[in-house]
Structure 1
Amino acid sequence: MLLNNQQVSRLKAVLFVLALLPFIRLVSFVFLDKLGANPVEFITRNTGDWTLYFLCITLAITPARKLFHLPWMLRMRRMLGLYAFFYAFLHFMTFLWFDHFFDLDEMWKDVIKRPFITVGFIAFILLIPLALTSTNGMIKRLGGKRWQLLHKLVYLIASLGVLHYFWMKSGKHDFSQPVLFGLIVAALLMMRLWWRWFGRDPVVVA
């Protein structure tokens, strides 16, 4: 299915609003006092889940474009990737603000002491340069090849995000969602490897 520029712009605007709805819902829950008995846990879980959702959606853009011949989907990827960073930032700020009240020393001790926080923190730090270099100007400054190489970090980030989620759930012995996320990320990465090694189009973008 081919879309003209106006149709793509409209679709992008719709996706922008839809991607913002989880945040709007979360804010409304704060004001309506619907966060449950443990508000911090609710916010942490919600923002973490949506970070992984948007990482998976961003990784799914290239396979969907190739499989269904939808070149216009590439124009959605950068925005969806920035939404992944947005929800990751909210996730991190919940940890820094409500768990540690901006006490950086205590936060750092927690990061070092607890492995699931360590890998989550690393994933967030790696997301920052991707967000900062998401503009057309930065693409020109870095050059296309270096920019693509940098943005391949999203594969590692998604994998670390799944590991973070898996270790977090290990104390509760509830692995169903982490395993599902892991299978999705693994499938999306394997599709890229398949196309790189055996596909007609050897150029695989992040």
Structure 2
Amino acid sequence: MTTRTDPPRLDPAALRELHDSGDGPRLLDVRTPGEFRTAHIPGSYNVPLDTLREHRAELLHHLDDEVVLVCRSGARAAQAEQALAAAGLPNLRVLDGGVMAWEAAGGVLTRGPERWDLERQVRLIAGSIVLVTGLAGLLVPGLQLIGTAVGAGLTVAALTNTCAMGMLLSKLPYNRGPRTDLDTIVTALRGTP
């Protein structure tokens, strides 16, 4: 029985050095189009995680170079690495700490319109549910159990490094941003207009 190891990581300083030299690997940003549009590493390609998982076989034909996977903090990029590695793509690495670490290390970002990132949206929704049901539970006994369920969901999210609420919020039009389909992604990866 083989044990799955953590994906190879590339720290922001090393990626910045490669990026600045013009010899950098292909960067695939697996965040939602809305997140990508807000801020991304110049030269990166937006391949949302759901699209990557669904079309990884087609994408393999356009990813023969060394690839670094990028997301906000590294969690979704690690999931993308697992999907592409299972499909047979070698030379995959994950940007350690994601776009947040890249920016903290002084890396340049291409910026678009500001929007709240998914983690902040999850904190707002979860906190609001807990607050409202906690207060309403004073008037309607048992209502505070909804807040307990949200707390349990957040605990599971932390333990499994997934977030059902975040996945649901990513489907909202506000978070989707411009539509990203396979043909658009392949055209960008090929470098053809």
In the superposition, the TM-score normalised over structure 2's length comes to: 0.32
Higher relative contact order (CA 8 A, sep 6+): 2
Kindly indicate which of the two structures has a greater share of residues assigned to strand.
2
In the superposition, the TM-score normalised over structure 1's length comes to: 0.30
Kindly indicate which of the two structures has a greater share of residues assigned to helix.
1
